[in-house]
Amino acid sequence: MKKIINAPENYVDDMLKGIYSAHSDQVKYAAGDLRCYCRAEKKPGKVAIITGGGSGHLPLFLGYVGDGMIDGCGVGGVFQSPSPEQIYNIAKEVASDAGVLYLYGNYTGDIMTFDMATDLCDMDDIECKSIVGADDVNSHKDPATRRGVAGIYFMFKAAGARADEGGSLDEVLAAAQLAKDNTRTVGFALTPCIIPEVGHANFELKENEMARGMGIHGEPGVWNGPLKTSHEIAEESLNTLLEDMPIADGEEVSILINGLGATSIEELYILSNDVTHLLNSRGIKVYRTIVGEYATSMEMAGASISICKMNDELKKYMDHPVNTPFICQK
């Protein structure tokens, strides 16, 4: 294991201290707990959006806290859920009388955390509603059982924009649901990653081998085989995505080409170009292309492809400005 760290057991807290130090004008922590990550200034009268999840995925989850997106994030250990008390303390810090939307990935530990946090908020008369991201097509045939991965970006964008517009809790929830219903993701890994406190890889891949459908915590994929070209990966991925969510000739999508942590931006743009050409060849128009790291898995090499089918409402949300320590869109 080669990492720029101090003590492995302090990995998360040391990282958080660095973020707070560098971006004190944008973010702070609540209740004296570094892992209760909040925007620096509360917005009165706005629906507060709170997420949470394990560390090791930056900018997911805390990187989406800021103007135009979300208001707070419970920060767990590497690949571990935050506690219900942390989510509750964040809610007390950022909630207004407009209520709170919990928006997080579809993982058992996180579901338990947010359900318990809702019970705590109920005792303080803080109205909360929840929705989970579940966009990973290869993780399960049943959409309700799928994992939440990079496609949750579109849900954060939609919910954050609608909240900024002054939408009610039900309207912000509906915006997130609209993005969820129209988003699908396929991912693939080229190398494993190393959890600092473990000190070794969480799975193995041979030198010329790749894994399709691998989860962002190292969950098993659906296929391991020889490394393929960018064009082959793009074509197979789009076949899977469009089989699950058909898109007609003339319809528009936004695409997210997401790096998993150790894949160069150059490679991501090669993949983006192949995806765009393949979509255009099917008569599908690309409204907006996002390329970069949006949901990583430590230093795992690989990428994911997310598509979000556009309509006029989602286009408006996609165009909404964003400013967080990790993401800026004017």
pLDDT in tens, 251-288: 999 999 999 999 999 999 999 999 999 999 999 999 99
Point out the catalytic residue in the list 200, 217, 231, 320: 217
Tokens standing for 214?
A: 């691998």
Task: Classify residue 295 as exposed, middle or buried by CB count within 10 Å of its CB (0-12, 13-18, 19+).
Answer: buried
Q: At what angle do helices 108-123 and 84-94 cross, to 10 degrees?
A: 50
| Alpha carbon distances (Å) from 24 to 20, 33, 40, 41, 152 | 5, 15, 7, 11, 26
Would you say 39 and 26 are in contact if contact means Cβ atoms under 8 Å apart? yes
Q: What is the model's pLDDT at position 18?
A: 98
Domains 9-180 and 183-310 belong to one CATH topology? no
277 as an active site residue: the answer is no
Looking at the domain that runs over 9-180, which CATH code has it been given?
A: 3.40.50.10440
pLDDT (0 to 100) of residue 299: 94
Global pTM reads: 0.97
Query: DSSP string spanning 225-267?
Result: EE---HHHHHHHHHHHHHHHS---TT-EEEEEEEE-BSS-HHH
Contact 188, 302 (CB under 8 A): yes
Q: What is the pLDDT of residue 204?
A: 85
- Choosing from 57, 140, 231, 277, the catalytic residue is 57
The CATH architecture of the domain made up of 183-310 is: 2-Layer Sandwich (3.30)
Write 11-19 long-range contacts (CB < 8 A, 24+). Answer: 11/55, 11/78, 11/196, 11/197, 12/55, 12/75, 12/77, 12/78, 15/55, 16/75, 19/62, 19/325
For the chain, the structural domain boundaries read: 9-180, 183-310
**Per-residue model confidence as pLDDT tens digits over 186-218:** 999 999 998 898 988 878 899 999 999 988 887
Does the active-site annotation cover 217? yes
